[in-house]
Structures are given as C-alpha cells and as structure tokens.
Amino acid sequence: MTKHILIDATTVSRHMDGLSQYILNVVSRLPKHEDRQYHVVVRPGECPETYAAQWVKAGMEVTEAPIDPIGPKREWQYRRWLRTQRTFDAAFVPSNQYPLALKMPAVYVVHDVIYERFPEQLGKLAPLKRAWLHHNVAKGLQQAAAVVAVSGFTKSEILRFHPTADANKIQVVYEGWEHLAVHGGQAPVSLPFRDYILYIGSSRGHKNLQGLLDAVSLAAERLPEGTGLVIAGDDRLLNAAQRKKIAAFKGKMVTTGWLTQEALNTCYMHAKAVIFPSLCEGFGIPVLEAFWFGKPLLVSNTSSLPEVAGDAALYFDPMKPEQMADVMVHALQMNEPELQRLVQRGKARLQAFSWQKTADEIDQILSQC
C-alpha cells in the first residue's frame, strides 16, 4: 500500500538563504521507496526550476500554492489549500514554520530559536512577532510525531524556551555541504584590494556585523598592505552608522549584497580567510563552506559553532572586538605549516557532515511515522 507524504517546501526562497539550501538539498536526496509517494508543495516562482525538475524526474509530485512562508496569514492559506488535496499519511516540515492545520503524523525540523534571544531584530511589532513564533514552534513541538534539531545546541535551546516539550522525541541531525560541489565560480567581484577576509551572512543583529566592523577598525593598521574585508550577503538591514563606517573604510571594507551561489563560490575561492562572528547560530553552514574551500576559519566560540567546527578553527569571543581583531591579524600572518594544519583539520572535519547523511537520517525518522 502506497504511503503518501506531504513535503512542505513553501519556505524555499529564490534568494538562496540557509533554510532554502537545507530544504532543497535534503528533499533532493531522500531515498526512493516503492511504497512511498512524495508530494512537494512550493510557492509560485520561488523554487529553482532545476530542483523542481529533478524532483519530478525522481517521481515526486510538485504542486505550487500561494502560501505565505511565515505569519498567521499562512495558517488559513494552508488550511484552505489542504481542503483541495488528497489525504496525506504523513508530512515532512523542514522549517520552523509548522502548519498547524496538519493533522497527520509529521517530522518537524527546528533550525533555531534565535528570535527568543534577539527579538529586537524582528523589527516593527517585535513583541507580537516573537509571541507568534513562540506559539507556532510550541504547537509544532506538541503536534509533530518527531522533531529534528540541527545541532545539540539547538536542541538545548528548544528545551530552554519550551521546557514542557518532550525531549525524547527531539533528535539531532546535522546539516551538509555538497551543494558546493555542483556549482562552479564566475568572474571575480571587483574589489579595491588584492587580498581579503570574507564574511558571509546577512546584516541581522545576531550575525554581529557591528562587532566585525569594530574589529576591522581596530585591526586596520596591522593588516597587511592591500588586504581588506568583503561583506557578502543581504545588507538591507545595515543601519546608517554602519554604512557610514564601511564607507569611511572604503579601502578596507566592501559590501556585495546578495550573490548567486556561483559568485559566492568565487568569493570563497579567492579569500585569504573566512570569518564568522555570529552571536548565535542554530548550525552554521558557512563553517562547512570554509572547510570545503580550504580556507582558514575564524569563528565565534559561542552557540553551535564549536560543536560544528571542532578543532579546525581559530576562535574568538564575539563580544570582544579586540580579540576578534587579534585573530584576524594572526590568521594573515600564519606560516605555511600552521596554515596547512588548520586547513587539513577543516577537510577532516568536513567528513562528519553530509547532505546525504542528513537525508538518510530524515528518511529513517519518516519511516517511523
């Protein structure tokens, strides 16, 4: 008897963020089963055509539906859409946004609860938005048959902010990196300097871009001639003071805005080091990306980051810009043997993670629903 499984991919965005990367790569690697039919729902115009075509070729059914990726409106949209669909036996919800209308057993992935620690970055009506997110996750934790946390740290944070959740049904399943192996590079981004340290991420508060800017200011005089900082990623939340500071250091700092995967790969290829100064991460895919490209990783000693990076990084306290500055200077002054030891540790560490392993573990959990 065929088991029909709904896969909620309505949070995939055409601007390839970490969540989209997770969903696209895990769904694409789910093992085929003769007695299992996957039904993937995506938003119109958001899912890359290459992935949708790949899913269809693999025998999955792909449906478009106008369902918001987040917020209360999403709930009645989802409920209305479900009324037009067949009955599903189980569901895979690979993002925090659990559709409360689901009445079948579901595997629910929680990537982080960072909004609990940093609600101010939710912008206008932050208290209401935080309350909604907390409610949605709480209901998901309660309704889902199984919960996946992307790191041990994330599991501990779930239980910290949802102490009544059933810890026994929360399993840790790490993320992967193979998406990097199928994309090449492209022409280098035009830069005013020859060498650079690369920052990848958004300008949301918990990413600690302010701390990084302060660290570059402190390290500027000690950085080798012709070396700067490239800030790659969504920069729409940079405030006026941060933009002014970047402009003042135009010979040392450059923002690129959102980049395609190919352009991002190029930035990685030519970087001298990668820095990840985040205050809090649920997992931290840029850690694995730095390892893949064989770059020294400079990273915060907080949240999930030591759990993922292990002994393959240079650590600093993200709340101490002077410490971050010292690590940046040290990374650029390492001799070749020290540099290669760090890079080789990164390559070895990479072997502990895989999108295929993630998909296989998800598949095992789905089999129990």
CATH T-level assignment (fold) for domain 183-350: Rossmann fold (3.40.50)
Q: At what angle do helices 355-367 and 18-28 cross, to 10 degrees?
A: 70
Homologous superfamily assigned to 3-176+354-367 = Glycogen Phosphorylase B; (3.40.50.2000)
For residue 275, give the nearest of 319, 351, 334, 216 by alpha carbon.
216
pLDDT tens readout for residues 265-317: 888 999 999 999 999 999 999 999 999 999 999 999 999 999 999 999 999 99
> What pLDDT does 12 receive?
96
Strand, helix or coil for residue 305:
helix
> What pLDDT does 225 receive?
85
Distance CA 304, CA 285 (A): 11
First-to-last C-alpha distance (Å) of the chain = 15
For residue 180, give the nearest of 298, 293, 23 by alpha carbon.
293
Residues 6+ apart with CB under 8 A from 271: 196, 197, 198, 230, 293, 295
pLDDT tens readout for residues 186-200: 555 677 788 999 999
Which of the 8 DSSP states describes residue 148?
A: E
pLDDT tens readout for residues 68-87: 999 899 999 999 999 999 89
> What pLDDT does 188 receive?
58
Distance CA 274, CA 333 (A): 14
Q: Residue 61: beta bridge partners?
A: 39
pLDDT tens readout for residues 8-65: 999 999 877 889 999 999 999 999 999 999 999 999 999 999 999 999 999 999 999 9
Average pLDDT, the chain: 92
Where does CATH 3.40.50.2000 sit in the chain? 3-176+354-367, 183-350
Placement of tokens 């080091």 in the chain? 273
